[in-house]
Structure 1
Amino acid sequence: MEDELKACDLATLATLEFERVLSENTLTGSCYLLGKLHGEPAIVHVQRTAIDPSAAPGIVKEGLDSLNVFLDNRPYFSAHALLKRGPDALPDLALKLIWPCTDVHIKKYTAQQRRLLIETPATYDTVVEPYISSFPPERTEWVHAILEGRKEAERVLFSSPGEQGFMLLPDLKWDETTTAALYLTALVRDGSIRSLRDLTRRHIPLLKSIKREAYDVCAKKWGVQAGELRLFIHYQPSYYHFHVHVVHVAHEIMAGMAVGQAHMLDEVMSWLELSPEEGPSLPARMTFTYALGTEHGLYDGLLAVQEEATGE
């Protein structure tokens, strides 16, 4: 009965008790909905699927079922079109589901104002580290389920064992069809690394291995070469189990790739190479400036320290 309840299927989605729209993006044709599924809080991300450029000519020539032209002013025309249905028909929507979701998830996907905040090593010790430590282990149980092979085993692209090991698999933000939108995540096995502040010189071989294997997998599986990939680390990350993002350079720039939050893997490795053999590493001693939404759990604490320091 528990497995049936947790299944993501049409019967489950039909129980959606819609509450409100958290946010929308007219550029990507997507929105985040908040509601309940089987009485549990849930976030549903609804987005139009990307068109494979190689399939687009065939769709235009013979894959349309109907055409409704709403702008006719030669040389400019605009129309709404419906695709023909068939065994090879493209999916119309890409759905992502977070269920049950937490208050942190809801705040993350709610439209909100953002502000640049400054985090010094001292602020990390007094505000950020206690915030990270306050999360119960259950918050990253889904990560351990992947690393232990209990979930998503069929999606793993590369896996290595031990403290210097990691897994590479497609990120949930990728539809796994459009190469230009390629998005992978490397999850490390060492749970003591929560963010880039925890990295030291001893982690350089791990980071080099992630870079090497990511390049190798992307070249062999999709023909995507090293120069077509961004490898970066978020700070602040969305969850505190260390991971590296591997994204096609042609991918539409998202907030998570903005200056301040995304730090290139090569640059982080350079920081570590310049760090002392003993004592805190450069990432542990650096001051970071990044944007946070007003709903983020760190926002109020960091803002209070910043305003006290500047006398705002």
Structure 2
Amino acid sequence: EDQSHKPLRQDPSRLLALILTRGDCTQRSNMPEPSDANKRQKPEDAAPAFSDTISNFAVEETLRFEAGGRLAVVLGKLDGRDCVLELKQRAALADPRALEDALPKLKLTLTNHSGAEYSYYAATDPTTGATYDLEAVWPAPERLVQRKRPAEICVVEETAEAYDRVVRPFAEAQAAKIGWIDAVCALEKERERNLHACDAFVVNVDTKWSTHGPFDADRATWRGADWTRDLYLLAISKDASLKSMRDLRGPDGAGLCRAMRAALLRCAADVYGVPATKLRVFFHYQPQFYRLHAHCTRAEHTNPGCECDRAHLLTTVAANLDLAPDYYARAPLTYKLRLGEKLHGLLSAGA
């Protein structure tokens, strides 16, 4: 069999506890013969990279530094050869009971507050020296408590009939409980987070963007700041009849999608220096709260809300409404639900 186009296999004996790789493992057999310094060791010649110190490692470049330093990948030289270190920070506490015992001792510094139920802190355990980014939700709604619990997941295909019969009444009941949204849209709350306001919607910094710099600082200092890597903006409709993308219709709905997307991208570029080519703009279905809102995050930012069964790009939604004005009144929509949450129970009972 011709092996000329197959990559050389990585030598498993060289994957260490720090997931450390040495040498160039991407050479192909039809490339020039590597020098002796870059030839892979045979398994019988392999040896651990370090003994009890790392002092002979010469740093060249930090390739990745993520999650506040909890994950780092560093490139350097060891004995004149390439060496890559991957470091993952271990948890300071070994089990839930130890964490529960430590909570009353934590020293907190408020770093951010949403103006509603979300507040954020830098927390330090004086006993262990461990530090935490702490998010507190108070008072915590029942739906949020359910979302935070471990649960079995099931996939639901919601037909137009199931929406009209079960989901629409549920969404209307939930929408009646979020009066705070109107205060945000009227700039009575979270005014310091507001980036844009017009007759149809507002654009705010999402409360999930916990690393955002001080809101009382000069906004010119926000542009290009390190923490813009976590960019998270939200466009919220002022129209209470729009609970989700299911309520969008025809040219008006398509126009709202395009206007929201344009405003989010403009705010990201003008305020934070993040170009449109680095961003995704999408609706959630089902949404976290029932007032139409669009999310804007960096393309490399991944979380469960970015998955294909929940995120719907505004460009696609607008195009679907161009093709069929009542597309989202008729289309089946597939999404995940947690077993035991209220909507799952309603859909199961109505099946």
Please say whether Structure 1 and Structure 2 have the same fold, judged by a TM-score greater than 0.5.
Answer: yes
1:230–1:264: 8 Å Cα contact kept in structure 2?
yes
Local SS of the residue matching 1:135? helix
Q: 1:287 aligns with which of 329, 332, 345?
A: 332
Kept in 2, the 8 Å contact 1:233–1:244? The answer is yes
Question: Which range moved further: 170-179 or 260-269?
Answer: 170-179
Residue 241 of structure 1 aligns with which residue?
291
Shift of 1:50: 4.1
1:176 to 212, 215, 227: 212
Q: What is the deviation of 1:186?
A: 0.5
1:167 aligns with 2:216: no
CA distance in 2, matches of 1:199, 1:100: 32
Equivalent position of 2:320 in the other structure = 271
Please report the RMSD computed on the Cα atoms of aligned residues, expressed in angstroms.
2.9
Counterpart AA for 1:169: N
Match of 1:190 among 239, 244, 248: 239
Conserved 8 A contact 1:108-1:295? no
User: Compared with structure 1, are the counterparts of its residues 176 and 302 closer, same or farther at alpha carbon in structure 2 (3 Å cutoff)?
Assistant: same
Instruction: Please give the residue correspondences for 1:1-312 in structure 2 after superposition, counting only pairs within 5 Å.
Output: 50-51=67-68, 91=122, 92-135=131-174, 137=176, 139-161=177-199, 165-174=200-209, 175-177=211-213, 178-201=227-250, 202-251=252-301, 253-276=302-325, 281-306=326-351
Q: Which has the larger radius of gyration?
A: 2
Identity %: 30
Q: What corresponds to 1:13 in structure 2?
A: none
SS in 1 for 2:156: strand
Cα distance change of structure 1 residues 300 and 93 upon mapping to structure 2, 3 Å threshold: same
Kept in 2: contact 1:181–1:250 (CA 8 A): no
Choose between structure 1 and 2 for higher RCO, CA contacts under 8 A separated by at least 6 residues: 1
Give the Cα separation in 2 of the matches to 1:79 and 1:294.
33
Q: Which amino acid aligns with 1:110?
A: R
Q: Which residue of 2 aligns with 1:10?
A: none
Structure 2: segments with no counterpart, 5+ residues:
1-65, 75-83, 93-120, 123-130, 214-226
CA drift at 1:123: 0.5
Inter-partner Cα distance in structure 2 for 1:285 and 1:114: 25
The verdict on how the C-alpha distance between 1:294 and 1:221 changes in structure 2, with shifts beyond 3 A counting, is: same
Distance in 1 (CA, whole Å) between partners of 2:89 and 2:173 is 52
- What is the CA distance between 1:304 and its match in structure 2? 4.3
**Offset at 1:140?**
1.0
1:79 is displaced (CA, Å) by: 7.4
Q: Normalised by the size of structure 2, how large is the TM-score? A: 0.58
Q: Check whether the contact 1:115–1:292 (CA below 8 A) recurs between aligned residues.
A: yes
Q: Deviation digits for residues 116-149 of structure 1, max 9, x if unmatched?
A: 0111001111111121222362x21221111122
Shift of residue 78 of structure 1? 7.6
Q: Which amino acid aligns with 2:198?
A: S
| Matches of 1:112 and 1:150, distance apart in 2 | 37
Aligned-pair distance for 1:220? 1.5
Q: Count residues with an aligned counterpart.
A: 224
Q: Give the AA of the match of 2:270.
A: K
Cα distance in 1 for partners of 2:253, 2:283 equals: 14
- The Cα of 1:302 is off from its aligned counterpart by 2.1
Q: Which runs of 4+ in 1 moved over 4 A?
A: 74-82
TM-superposed deviation, 1:150:
1.5
